Amino acid sequence: MLDPPSLRQIYQSVGMLARAVHPISQEAFGYLVTRILDPKPDNATYMAGQFEKRLAEFVAAGNPDRLSRDIERRLTRDADSFAECHRAALCHNDLYEGNLLVDNASGIGN
């Protein structure tokens, strides 16, 4: 277990990395591997497709259909929020401490 000052340093580094990555523009909205998979022209279209897929997986996994419908109603009600994002940017969708490697001797994250 790392001590609080080491954890703070790691989280500061993660924040600086995320801040440095976000200004990198992408040509379309979508999931990036070696190219953008199924590119979408705007964030609202991309997010609607992602939520549709994830909600179908949620129900298929045995979760309550009623809850899925409630979530879908909420997303529909607030969908215009996704249109406020006008620029496709590089984002790391899985950046959290479980995906960080740390050298315990130095406390430096990678």
pLDDT tens, residue by residue, 75-99: 999 989 999 999 998 887 777 777 7
Dump pLDDT digits (tens) for 1-55: 778 888 888 888 888 888 888 899 999 999 999 999 999 999 999 999 999 999 9
pTM: 0.70
Write down the pLDDT at residue 40: 96
Map the chain to HEC letters.
Answer: CCCHHHHHHHHHHHHHHHHHHCCCECCCEEEECCCEEEEECCHHHHHHHHHHHHHHHHHHCCCCHHHHHHHHHHHHHCHHHHHHCCCCECCCCCCCHHHCCEECCCCEEC
